[in-house]
Amino acid sequence: MNKAGLLPLVASGLALACTAHGETPPRKLSEHITQEIRATLPVYTPPPASPVSTAPPPPPDPDTLVLPNVVVKEKKPQKFEADDLMGKKDLNRKFARDYKNSLRGLDAVLNGLWLPLFSPSPAARGRAMRDYQRLENFDRLVEIGKLADPKSSNALKKNVIDMELAIERQNRPAGE
């Protein structure tokens, strides 16, 4: 699963975890006041049932094709980010541009240079910056979830740590 697809999955899981407890909200009015309000309201009378007609249905139009009832359940179309639709060369160019635009002051002077044998390319740095921003957004979601349900947020926090470790292991050189 790509990393972009993980964020909506976790967000929907967080929403389900928050609503799964099924707790009813506390009543805002006392029972006595509720009874007084209901006493002043008119009594509900359901509408009379319509009589079932026994007359045969009208003959179908010869130019109309009658098909049985069909229920179509489609999967939602896949959502694409702009990055998913770019080619590898364009994507690397975008990451390099984003990285260079994020640098300011002395940081721009020191990190604006790229030595191919000794440092990662600006595209790789931009990709790492994007991944870091996604993790920060995910951390913010977990913090918001912690306010709603501390138990599920602890599980999400553990998943964040596991994800960060996986990214760290993925990016380290072979043999370490």
Alpha carbons 152 and 14: distance in angstroms, whole number: 8
User: Tens digits of per-residue pLDDT, 88-106?
Assistant: 999 999 998 988 888 888 8
User: Tens digits of per-residue pLDDT, 39-80?
Assistant: 888 888 888 887 777 777 777 777 777 777 877 778 888 888
User: Is residue 20's pLDDT more than 60?
Assistant: no
pTM summary value? 0.44
Residue 7 CA neighbour count, 13 Å, CB half: 14
User: Is residue 141's pLDDT more than 60?
Assistant: yes
- Could you tell me the residue ranges of all domains in the chain? 81-176
User: Is residue 18's pLDDT more than 60?
Assistant: no
What pLDDT does 2 receive?
57
What pLDDT does 90 receive?
92
Report yes or no: 94 and 83 within 8 Å, Cβ to Cβ: yes
User: Tens digits of per-residue pLDDT, 156-176?
Assistant: 778 778 878 887 787 777 766
- Segment 8-19 shows an average pLDDT of 59
Q: If 0-12 CB within 10 Å is exposed, 13-18 middle and 19+ buried, where does residue 99 land?
A: buried
Gap between the terminal Cα atoms of the chain = 25
Residue 3 CA neighbour count, 13 Å, CB half: 16
User: Tens digits of per-residue pLDDT, 107-136?
Assistant: 788 777 777 888 888 888 888 888 888 888
User: Is residue 19's pLDDT more than 70?
Assistant: no
